[in-house]
Amino acid sequence: MAIAAPYPITLDVDYPERQSRWKTLLRLFLAIPVLIFAAIVGGAQDATVLAMWIAIVLRGRIPRWLFDFQVALLRWQVRAYSYALLLTDAYPPFEGDYPIRYEVEYPERLARWKVLIWKGITSLAHFVVLLILYLTLLVVIPIAWIAILIGGRFPQGLHGYAAGVIRWSMRVQAYFLSLTDEFPPFSPSADAGPGGHDTYVISSVLGLLGTGAIIAGLVTLAVISAQTVEREVSYAALLRGDAPISRTLVEQRPLDVMLLSATDPADEEFPFLEATPGHRLVRFSLGIENDDPDLRVHVSDFTLKDTAGDKADVLLAVVGGRVPPVSTAGDGLVEALLVFEVSDDEDPAELRYDPRAGLAKTIVYRFVE
C-alpha cells in the first residue's frame, strides 16, 4: 500500500508542559508590539505577492529569493499569531529556532492559469470552514487562558486543536498565494497529505457555485442601489411651507427623508454668504431619519439642478446642528439645512440626495408649478 506524500506546507507546534501565569495574564499587552510588526509585515507581503503572481504568469515559477522572502514573512506572522493565541510563552524572534516551525517546499513549476482567480474559487470551501473554526477559537482560547492561570498549562487537547486550526489556515493561505499547486486537505492533522481528486472536484464545484452566488448578489445590490425614488413637489407650495408630507416623504430602510420647506431668495437669511453677481441664494430644509450607523451624511450627497439644466453644489450644509460629514443614526428625525446658489434667470428644477451606503436609493425631488 502506497503511503501518501506529506503536504508541502508544514507547521509544527511544540507543546509547552508549563506556561507562565503572569505572561499569560498580560499576554494581550505583551503581544501588542508583535501584532503591530505583523501588520507591517502584512503590508510588505501584499507587494511581494503581486510580484510572485507576475513571475508565475510570465515564467511559470517563483524566483527562489522571492519565494524565500515570502515564506520568511509568513513564518514571522504565524509566530506572532501563535504567541498571541497562547500556544507558546517564547517571545517571537526575528530569526533562529522557535517552538512554532513553519516550512514550505519550493515548487519548481507552477500552473500559470491557476493564479489568483482559480485558486480563490477552489479555496472558497476552505475559507467557509476556516471561518467556523476561527469562531470556535473565540471559545477555546479564553478557556485555555483560564486553565493556564489556574493550572499553569494549556490543556493538551485544546492546544492541539488550536495548532491544527492555524496549520489548516496556513496551508490554505500558501495555496491561495501560489506557493504550491497542491490542493490543501480538509484536515488539521500534521500528517495529512494533499487533498484528493474527489475533494478537489467537489471544492471546485462548490467554489464555482459560491462565486456565482456572490457575483449575482453584488449585481443585485448594485442594481438596487442604482435605483432612484422620484417625487414631484409644487415649488410654490414648498415656498409657502405647506407642501403635503405625502408628496415629499420617502420611506426606505434604513433611511427616511422628507422635504420640509424652501426659501427663495434666501440672501437675507444668510448675510454672511454673498452670491456672485447675477445669482441668488436658495435654502432647502429636509428631515432625515437614519437607522444605519455606517451611513453618514456628506455635503457632496446633495446637488441642485436649475431649469437651464445647470447643476449647483451645496454652499452651506448643516445637519442636526453639525457640519457634515455626520452620522445621524439613533438621533431620530434631524433637520438638514442646505444652501445653494442659482442664477437670477432660472428656478430650481430638481434636488437630488444620493446616500453613499447600504441599500438606500437616490432620492430626486422634481419641482413643478
What single letter denotes the amino acid at residue 143?
Answer: I
Give the integer Cα–Cα distance in Å for 218 and 185. Answer: 30
| 188 closest CA partner among 210, 158, 208 | 158
For residue 223, tell me if it sits in a domain.
no
What pLDDT was estimated at residue 225? 58
Which pLDDT value is given to residue 42?
85
Q: Do 187 and 283 have their domain in common?
A: no
End of a domain among 200, 218, 236?
218
pLDDT at 292: 83
Question: Are 64 and 183 found together in one domain?
Answer: yes
Task: Tell me which of 189, 218, 247 is where a domain ends.
Answer: 218
| Shared domain check, 245 and 296 | yes
The predicted structure's pLDDT at residue 2? 47
Q: Give pairs for 99-102: CB < 8 Å, separation 24+.
A: 99/13, 99/14, 99/16, 100/11, 100/12, 100/13, 100/14, 101/10, 101/11, 101/12, 101/13, 102/9, 102/10, 102/11, 102/71, 102/74, 102/75, 102/78, 102/170
Q: Give domain status of residue 235, yes or no.
A: yes
Supply the pLDDT for residue 357. 59
Instruction: Write out the residue range of the structural domain in which residue 321 sits.
Output: 228-368
pLDDT for the residue 60: 95
* Residue 140, pLDDT score: 97
In 10 A of CB 367, how many CB atoms?
23
Nearest-CA neighbor of 299 among 232, 366, 361, 354?
Answer: 354
Q: How many residues does the structure list for the chain?
A: 369
Residue 4 lies in a domain: no
- Report pLDDT for 1: 42
- Fill in the DSSP letter of residue 113: G
Q: Which residues of the chain have pLDDT under 70?
A: 1-4, 221-226, 357-359
The tally of domains found in the chain comes to 2
Closest residue by Cα to residue 126 from 181, 213, 193, 187: 187
Residue 109 in any domain: the answer is yes
With helix as H, strand as E and coil as C, how does 293-323 read?
Answer: CCCEECHHHEEEEECCCCEEECCEEEECCEC
Same-domain check for residues 40 and 181? yes
DSSP state of 97: -
User: Is residue 5 helix, strand or coil?
Assistant: coil
